[in-house]
Amino acid sequence: MSEEIVPPVRPPRRILMGPGPSDISPRVLAAMAAPTVGHLDPYFLKIMDELQQMLRQVFRTENRLTLAISGTGSDGMEACVFNLIEPGDKMLVCVNGVFGGRMAEVGRRAGAEVVTIEKPFGEIFTTTEVEAALKEHQPKVVGIVHAETSTGALQPLHHIAKLVHKYDALILADMVTSLGGLPVEIDEWGIDAAYSGTQKCLSCPPGLAPVTFSPRSVEVMDKRKEPVRSWYVDLSLIRNYWGGNRAYHHTAPINMNYGLHEALRNVLEEGLEARFERHQLNHKALKAGLSAIGIEYAVEEENSLPMLNAVKIPEGIDDKKVRAQLLNQFGIEIGAGLGPMAGKTWRIGLMGEASRESNVLLFLATLEQCLPKQGYELTPGASIAAANKVYAG
């Protein structure tokens, strides 16, 4: 029997306007195609040092223990939870979306006694609600999502972090979607540990998870009574690889680190404030355009993420047909709703490289073609005019 040779990889060109991954800069792709060196090669060790330096700038922290875990954002979550939690520890998790629920599940698997406070998808937690749970449960760690990818909701953290410290607990924040697109102030807010992913506003392919730990959280890890249950994400081992000892732990994904290095260079070259302003401007233009054709947001404006726009699907419109037409006819990917929002919302990403005026206008134009095919009435060009008014503003 002859061996069959499968065709080479030739993916279609897409405009990635879903919840991630986002569009990738050609500079990042070029960096990833550079020659591979060894994971202990002096050149790669220099790249690791520069990565840590740039991640501190983007996280806005002086934390020494700041690095990129080899794995996706979910691996960053596991690294944070498994290193801070010992079996029997109490962990309070704030659940108002899919990823808060996932953090609670990771806590259970790490051996924590997990308690949750819950809000409907799309709503955020108040300091009063969090303080009541802190008083009742006295947890060691409080987990909360800064930017809930499943709902498009932004959770303010500054005052909640102060409360968590008042009750002598650690605060762990999911910043997978916010890092690089919204202000993230680890030191100013007093965040003890945080994790992110490369594939959202950093516009790097998925595969690494930036994490950062405060001196307070490092002290907690150093006082553990037993080893971390996951060998792979045990930071007592990993930090010896990223730190001065350079002790072998695992073979790092060399070229993925090249990609993140270039992605962070892109972020800092643009400037954090300019990057945040760009995301906000494109969010406002998209919102104005959608509003002009009768499409509402699923989250209150003051709680809306600029990079992940969760909008209500108009009554009578078939979710899957619209997303299929956008993808197959125009090459545009947007995301479906998750959990109780499934079939009720679209998630429109404007992350990193994808947060462009041209993408906003193209998406609105194509949506104006898709909706009337299902009997939806709109004034042709209304969304484009409304978005252009914002850009002219």
What are the sequence ranges of the domains in the chain? Answer: 26-269, 272-392
Residues 196-233 have pLDDT tens digits of 999 999 999 999 999 999 999 999 999 999 999 999 99
Q: Are 45 and 246 in contact (CB under 8 A)?
A: yes
**pLDDT (tens digit per residue) in 248-283:** 999 999 999 999 999 999 999 999 999 999 999 999
pLDDT at 140: 98
Q: What angle do CA 347, 298, 335 make, to 5 degrees?
A: 10
The 3-state secondary structure of 73-100 reads HHHHHHHHHHHHCCCCCEEEEEECCHHH
Above 90 in pLDDT, residue 336?
Answer: yes
Angle between helices 272-292 and 357-370 (to 10 degrees): 20
Tell me the pLDDT tens digit for each residue of 97-109.
Answer: 999 999 999 999 9
Q: How many CA atoms lie within 13 A of 350 on its CB side?
A: 31
Q: How many CA atoms lie within 13 A of 30 on its CB side?
A: 5
List of residues 6+ apart from 350 with CB closer than 8 A = 17, 279, 282, 283, 286, 306, 307, 308, 309, 359, 360
Return d(Cα 225, Cα 241) in angstroms, integer: 22
Looking at residue 1, its pLDDT comes to: 65
Task: Look up residue 345 and give its DSSP letter.
Answer: E
CA distances from 167 to 140, 163, 327 (A): 9, 7, 49
For 208-250, give the DSSP string: EEEEEE-HHHHHHHHT-SS--S-STT-HHHHHHHHSTT----S
According to DSSP, residue 8 is labeled P
What is the reported pLDDT for 245?
A: 86
d(CA 250, CA 237): 10
Give the mean model confidence (pLDDT) for residues 18-44.
Answer: 97
Residues 6+ apart with CB under 8 A from 24: 203, 204, 205, 353
- The residue whose two tokens read 């290193």 is 83
Q: Which of 191, 350, 332, 192 is nearest to 279 (CA)?
A: 350
Cα separation, 288 vs 310, in Å, equals: 14
pLDDT at 2: 75
Residues 178-184 have a mean pLDDT of 98
Q: Does domain 26-269 have CATH number 1.10.1270.20?
A: no
Our CA dihedral for 231, 232, 233, 236, rounded to 10 degrees, sits at 60
- The structure tokens listed for 238 are 């990993």
| pLDDT score for 3 | 86
CATH superfamily of 272-392: Aspartate Aminotransferase, domain 1 (3.90.1150.10)
Mean pLDDT of the chain: 97
Span 121-179, pLDDT tens digits: 999 999 999 999 999 999 999 999 999 999 999 999 999 999 999 999 999 999 999 99
- Taking residues 284-303, report their average pLDDT: 97
